[in-house]
Amino acid sequence: MSLPRSTRRYLQLDVFAERPGGGNPLGVVFDAADFDAASMQAFAAWTNLSETIFMLPPTSGDADYRVRIFTPRQELPFAGHPSVGAAWAAVEGGLATPRDGALVQECAAGLLPVRVEGAPGHLRVDVRAPRAREIAGAATRHASEVDLALAGLALGQQAPALWSNGPAWWLVELPDGAAVRAMQPDLAAIAALTRASGAVGLAVHGRADAIDHQLVVRAYCPADNIPEDPVTGSVNACIAAQLAQAGTLPGRDGRYVASQGRELGRDGRVHVHVDAQGEAWIGGQVQRVIDGRVGWPAHVGNVR
């Protein structure tokens, strides 16, 4: 049995998951140095996963590995769950060895510090997210759309605001985690708000007092044809920045765990840490669900 063309290693991982199916899937193609961008994009469209990544040798002497991240439609400079999966794959696949638990990832957004803990098979990976900032005045400019998107919802203490760490997210605090889980989103109104303000989506969060998580999060991106995203790295980093600024971080010592995705039949856990410098780190466990080889032409020109 042979695949039709030269093959390379392929993994399909579940990120932010403590069991297969709990998190956000990610395709990983190893040894992709000879792939051209069009071929990467074609394969990412074919897998239909929210992201597919390609592992490459670093071009910077300061980096341990390089990764390119593609959605089915476009290349992304940075994304949270693909970066956590990339670091996991780099270590488990033997491409990089952490020094004192640290790695440096090279991606289109630049060099990104990564922390890796634990024994092989049980690695915990954390990546530092680009610094988030509030987009001042957005809530005033879009007050009527915000009101429509949140009509009938009881809100928490924090006023709704637009934050960005690359992608821009509307962040809305609800009174508690139970209110987050019970929310029936008005997707048409959320789509109108995010389109009008150039945001990727709207996320709600509320505190919980569970053994294994202190915050409940849900994220809606209806304008991108994703009614609700199962587990979202970037949004959890934005929420952490907002809570840190307000001085209301849950958990202890700037560390907490967010639960996301149960309403979609998933059970994602995002480990969040705001460090002494105010940088937000996001991480979690990774499950190796599919392990095999892929045969895909490295050059689109050879195919058509």
Partner 1 sequence: MKRRYVQLDVFAGRPGDGNPLAVVLDGEGLDDATMQAIARWTRLPETTFVFPATSAEASYGLRIFSPRREVPFAGHPSVGTAHAVLEAGLAQPRDGLLVQQGIAGLLPLRVEGDGAKRTIAVRTPTARVMEVATASDPRLRDALRGLPLGALPPALMDGGRRWWLVELADETSLRAAIPDWNAISKLAHDTESMGICVFARSDDPVYYLAVRAWVGAPAHFEDAASGAANATLAAWLASRDALPGDTGFYRVSQGREVGHDAIIELLVDGAGEVWSGGRACTVVRGRIDWP
Residues annotated as catalytic (active site), given as ranges: 51
* Of the candidates 44, 63, 62, the residue with the CA atom closest to the CA atom of residue 53: 44
Q: Identify which range of 3-11, 55-63, 121-129, 248-256 contacts partner 1 by CB under 8 A.
A: 3-11
Q: Does residue number 211 form part of the binding site for partner 1 (CB under 8 A)?
A: no
Which of 15, 16, 25, 274 contacts partner 1 by CB under 8 A? 25
How many other C-beta atoms can be found within 10 angstroms of the C-beta atom of residue 139?
Answer: 16
Instruction: Measure Cα distances from 204 to 75, 135, 191, 276, 302 in Å.
Output: 27, 17, 15, 26, 46
3-state secondary structure of 301: helix
SS3 87: helix
Which residues, numbered 39-58, are part of the site for partner 1 (CB under 8 A)? 42-43, 45-50
* 10 is a site residue for partner 1 (CB under 8 A): yes
Stretch near partner 1 under the rule CB under 8 A, chosen from 76-84, 161-169, 272-280, 281-289: 281-289
Per CB under 8 A, the segment of 16-24, 146-154, 175-183, 215-223 that binds partner 1 is 16-24
Answer yes or no whether residue 82 interacts with partner 1 by CB under 8 A: no
Q: What share of the chain is helix, strand, coil (3-state, %, to 5)?
A: 25, 35, 40
Q: Which is nearer to partner 1, 89 or 161 (CB)?
A: 89
List beta partners, residue 76.
69
> Could you tell me how many residues of this chain bind partner 1 (CB under 8 A)?
32
Sites of contact with partner 1 (CB under 8 A):
1, 3-5, 10, 14, 19-21, 25, 42-43, 45-50, 265, 287-297, 303-304
